[in-house]
Amino acid sequence: MHSLNVALGARSYPIIIGSRLLGDAQYLLPSIRGRQVCVVTNETVAPLYLARLLDGLPGFDKVDVVELPDGESYKTLNTVNRIFDVLLEKRHNRTTTLIALGGGVVGDMCGFAAACYQRGVDFIQVPTTLLALVDSSVGGKTGVNHPLGKNMIGAFYQPRLVLADTDTLATLPDREFSAGVAEVIKYGLICDAPFFHWLEANMDALLQRDAAILAYAVDRCCRDKAAVVASDERESGRRAILNFGHTFGHAIETVQGYGVWLHGEAVAAGMVLALELSLLCGSINNNLLERLRSLLRKARLPQRPPAEMTVVDFLQAMELDKKVVNGRLRLVVLKSLGEARVADDTPREKVIEALKNCGV
Ligand code: NAD
Ligand code: MG
């Protein structure tokens, strides 16, 4: 077990990473300030890990559980309202702590509910997917989807603790695990060239979920993300590099309908498009694109966008994305391996050319 700190002044919090953490009261209790707790989870994760989590919460006056339906298509305001219903029916007050037990969908909704309930109550992230362990549980972005765009309704709201128990990954379906690997690869590309090299050497062991390899990768990603978030909590600048591949990826998710392609799968194809664009902007060479494709192939992730999507589909969806500023597309491109920059001057023609080069 070891611990990292996300350095955000008064909003700083630890990320505790390791195995056998769930169910051990010493990790959760120091971060719970009141006498009330509400665990938010879903119908898939509850039978697997809820009992173990509750073992780590002895002696509370009130522990309630909200079990949500499973799926990205339920990441909506309506579903968040079910959390409010329970909190109000069971008379939770401003001293309550919400605990998100699950993947990014549960974490994003629980965090948003915590940001809004009685204008803000404490919350803790207990991520159970690879994507949530390395990405969504850290950094304080919370929210839900709207039929017209992904993550369009939300708030920046930091948890008080991230409890990252790598044992939970044992039950994660392969396809979900691979989707998380897309975000893992992203850190190497945007800010950590040595980690990219490490992934090239260790991808097979990572996919076999070797415990030591997994712990190393989770730790490295959380460190990279914590450093970026600490430098720019609300995405006024540098934090945007974490969106590498995401503007293209969100277009894929929006046009296909949420949940058809997994978030990580869309990000995988989106990173190929973003790298293709970087190539056209003249900063990187072809060889890096090949190396990315090879890692994605090993991880059984898509290397190109869905065949049925057109250039118009992409442009329309991308222009609705949050990354449009004053009518210009803001896209993240690579300057070199491990170094990303936000470009708000990318000509549309270059974006179209990148799409066409990837078979759109
Ligand atoms: P998810 O939450 O839908 O989980 C994937 C599937 O795995 C679900 O069916 C879930 O029930 C199941 N599952 C979870 N843990 C399991 C376990 N241990 N064993 C077996 N099954 C398990 O998806 P995700 O990939 O974790 O998260 C994707 C979401 O995260 C998207 O909505 C995305 O927008 C969001 N996200 C948020 C941020 C952020 O900074 N807040 C960053 C990246 C992604
Ligand atoms: Mg993401």
Whose CA is closest to atom 43 on ligand 1? 136
Question: What distance in angstroms lies between residue 284's CA and the mean position of ligand 1's atoms?
Answer: 32
| Catalytic one of 75, 150, 186, 239 | 239
Residue of 22, 44, 125, 222 to mutate, ligand 1, most atoms within 8 A of C-beta: 44
Could you identify the atom of ligand 1 that is nearest to the CA of residue 142?
A: 41
Q: Are 113 and 153 in contact (CB under 8 A)?
A: no
What residues contact residue 327 under an 8 Å CB cut-off, 6+ apart? none
* pTM of this structure: 0.95
- Give the up-direction half-sphere exposure of residue 155: CA atoms within 13 A in the CB hemisphere: 15
pLDDT digits (tens, 9 = 90+) for 144-183: 999 877 789 999 999 999 999 999 999 999 999 999 999 9
Q: Percentage of the chain with pLDDT > 90?
A: 86
Ligand 1 centre to CA of 265 (Å) is: 12
Which parts of the chain sit beneath pLDDT 70? Answer: 258, 321-327
Ligand 1 site residues (CB inside 6 A) read 42, 44-45, 48, 70, 72, 75, 102-106, 108, 128-129, 131-132, 135-136, 139, 141, 151, 168, 171-172, 176, 179, 263
Cα–Cα dist 333/284, whole Å: 10
pLDDT of residue 129: 98
pLDDT digit string, tens, across residues 206-234 = 999 988 999 999 999 999 999 999 999 99
If you take atom 20 of ligand 1, which residue's CA is the nearest one?
172
Q: In this predicted structure, what is the pLDDT of residue 193?
A: 98
- Token code pair at residue 266: 């869309």
Structure confidence at residue 347 (pLDDT)? 86
Nearest to 107 by CA among 129, 78, 90: 129
Compute the distance from residue 246 Cα to the ligand 2 centre, in Å.
Answer: 7
What does DSSP assign to residue 138?
Answer: S
**Strand segments (E) across 13-132:** 13-18, 36-42, 62-68, 97-102, 122-127
Q: What is the pLDDT of residue 319?
A: 82
How far is the C-alpha of 311 from the C-alpha of 297, rounded, in Å? 24
Q: What confidence score (pLDDT) does residue 324 get?
A: 60
- Identify which ligand lies nearest to the alpha carbon of 68: 1
Measured distance CA(234)–CA(112) in Å, rounded: 15
Q: Write down the pLDDT at residue 18.
A: 94
Contact of 264 with 180, CB cutoff 8 Å: yes
Instruction: Report d(CA 214, CA 210) in Å as an integer.
Output: 6
Spacing, Cα 262 to ligand 2 middle (Å): 10
Are the CB atoms for 248 and 303 separated by under 8 Å?
no
Please report the pLDDT score of residue 211 as a whole number: 86
pLDDT in tens, 107-123: 999 999 999 999 999 99
Q: Which string of DSSP letters, residue by residue, matches 284-344? A: S-HHHHHHHHHHHHHTT--SS--TT--HHHHHHHHHHSTTEETTEE-EEEEEETTEEEEES
pLDDT of residue 108: 98
CB 128 within 8 A of CB 102: yes
Q: From 128, 129, 162, give the residue whose CB has the most ligand 1 atoms within 8 Å, as the site to mutate.
A: 129
pLDDT of residue 321: 65
